[in-house]
């Protein structure tokens, strides 16, 4: 059985993580919380020590409920499954998008809103500080400074609520802007073999600066949130058949081959799919196969 360390490691700021991690977004749709708990615990058993989450991750179209009627979010599933947390586990979350009983879904623009979102993550996860917090933005054409929002998170880092900072859904100029304020340990953008290949240059820039690049939608590709099983190209399917693995595993393997600083965070609520995802970290693609996929 392949484990997460087969993909190698990367230093996420001042902590070392296995490059094959886990994304928590897809653990919420199943109303049986025991399945989510089993997936999370199995991930840790398989060597996953980097979990990506967010306070607004919950079941699509409604709230996830258990017998007592309480609302359950992904963070609460993580706490229920894994607390007290292993010392080596790094939990990365994100702020920017949020939910409010009166406004519904919104994007934080003020220091007060960002602090509220940080405190919500702390409460849901049962922590006194967050390992890594990404500022997730709604990217706009032209000049759209992140300095004020990132600076607010840097203040929360100085206050001890956050240990390390990252940014998400950003361009290279956003990274430069953030680095002028505080260290950045990761950039988290959408990216896949068939999605936003213009990101290749940003991956190289991050590598030059010892910054992790953490792609989301690596499996879903252009279908993004709508489907985790896209129609794969004939090249992906052919290479998968040659290796005797699934197209989704080839997509993950290709992602990890894009740079030593690239971390994978595939999400699933299926225990069998979890093991397949982790096993993808052991797949080695030849230069010819990479050229075909590229």
Contacts of 7 (CB under 8 A, 6+ apart): 18, 19, 20, 256, 264, 281, 282
Q: Is 3 helix (H, G, I), strand (E, B) or coil?
A: coil
Catalytic position from the list 57, 73, 191, 213: 57
Burial of residue 66 (CB within 10 Å: 0-12, 13-18, 19+) is middle
Distance between CA 7 and CA 145 in Å, rounded?
35
Chain position carrying tokens 């991956």: 203
**73 catalytic per annotation:** no
Contacts of 38 (CB under 8 A, 6+ apart): 271
- Measuring CA to CA, which residue among 79, 44, 90 is closest to residue 214? 90
**Annotated catalytic sites, by residue?**
57
């Amino acid at each position: 059985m392949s484990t997460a360390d087969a993909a190698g490691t990367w230093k996420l700021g001042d902590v070392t993580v296995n490059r094959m991690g886990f994304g928590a977004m897809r653990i919420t749709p199943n109303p049986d919380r025991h399945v989510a708990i089993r997936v999370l615990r199995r991930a840790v058993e398989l060597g996953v020590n980097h979990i990506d989450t967010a306070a607004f991750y919950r079941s699509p179209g409604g709230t996830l409920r258990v017998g007592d009627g309480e609302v359950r979010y992904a963070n609460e599933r993580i706490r229920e499954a894994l607390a007290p947390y292993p010392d080596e586990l790094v939990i990365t979350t994100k702020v920017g998008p949020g939910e409010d009983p009166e406004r519904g879904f919104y994007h934080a623009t003020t220091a007060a809103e960002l602090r509220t979102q940080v405190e919500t993550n702390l409460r849901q996860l049962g922590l006194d500080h967050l390992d890594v917090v990404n500022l997730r933005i709604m990217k706009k054409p032209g000049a759209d400074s992140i300095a004020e929002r990132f600076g607010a998170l840097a203040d929360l880092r100085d206050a001890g609520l956050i240990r390390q900072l990252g940014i998400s859904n950003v361009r290279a100029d956003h990274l430069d802007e953030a680095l002028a304020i505080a260290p950045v340990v990761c950039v988290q953008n959408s990216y896949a073999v068939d999605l936003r290949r213009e990101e290749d240059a940003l991956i190289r820039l991050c590598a030059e600066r010892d910054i992790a690049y953490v792609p989301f939608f690596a499996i879903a590709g252009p279908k993004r949130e709508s489907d985790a099983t896209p129609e794969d190209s004939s090249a992906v399917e052919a290479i998968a058949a040659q290796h005797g693995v699934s197209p989704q595993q080839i997509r993950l393997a290709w992602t990890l081959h894009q740079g030593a600083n690239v971390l994978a965070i595939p999400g699933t609520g299926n225990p069998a799919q979890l093991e397949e995802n982790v096993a993808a970290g052991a797949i080695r693609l030849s230069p010819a196969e990479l050229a075909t996929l590229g």
